[in-house]
Amino acid sequence: MINWEFVVVPLVVFLILLIVLIMLKASYHFNYLKITKPDEFKNFHDYVDTYKSFDVDLRILLILPFFKRNEKLEENKDVIKLVKKIKNLCRLIYLDILLVIMFFLMVLIFFKD
């Protein structure tokens, strides 16, 4: 018999961590865009305000673990620190996705009864 709490609990923890990392990355990415392009994002106060608009492409860009720098607009050290945070969060999201995939593979391999 499989003890399912050993399967479900880590999976739930990994998925919750993934959601938290994605929301944190989206928030930092939005702050980066707001600093580098203030005219385009003056109508939004924070990341949650993007849900009030109908711009779905912006929300998808912020949620996905993808980050494109605009080095011409980066002027101060705070923006460079923000870029490092965003890149590290993207790496953590990829790592968490990899852990979830590996966890599924382990469950399939070891518990295929």
pLDDT, tens digit, for every residue of 5-31? 777 888 899 999 999 999 999 999 988
The predicted model scores a pTM of: 0.82
The amino acid at 33: L
Digit-coded pLDDT (tens) for 23-65: 999 999 988 988 888 888 888 787 777 777 767 777 788 888 8
Collapse the DSSP code of 82 into the 3-class scheme (helix H, G, I; strand E, B; otherwise coil) and give the result: helix
Asked whether 19 and 94 are in contact (CB, 8 A), the reply is no
Task: Give me 41's structure tokens.
Answer: 């994002």
Range of 56's domain? 5-110
* Inter-residue contact 90 to 25 (CB < 8 Å): yes
Residue with tokens 């607009």: 73
pLDDT digits (tens, 9 = 90+) for 67-104: 888 777 777 888 889 999 999 999 999 999 999 999 88
Q: Is the pLDDT of residue 2 over 80?
A: no
Q: How far apart are the first and last CA of the chain?
A: 9
| Count of alpha carbons within 13 angstroms of residue 38, beta-carbon side | 3
**Whole-angstrom Cα distance, residue 90 to residue 93?**
5
Task: Count how many domains the chain has.
Answer: 1
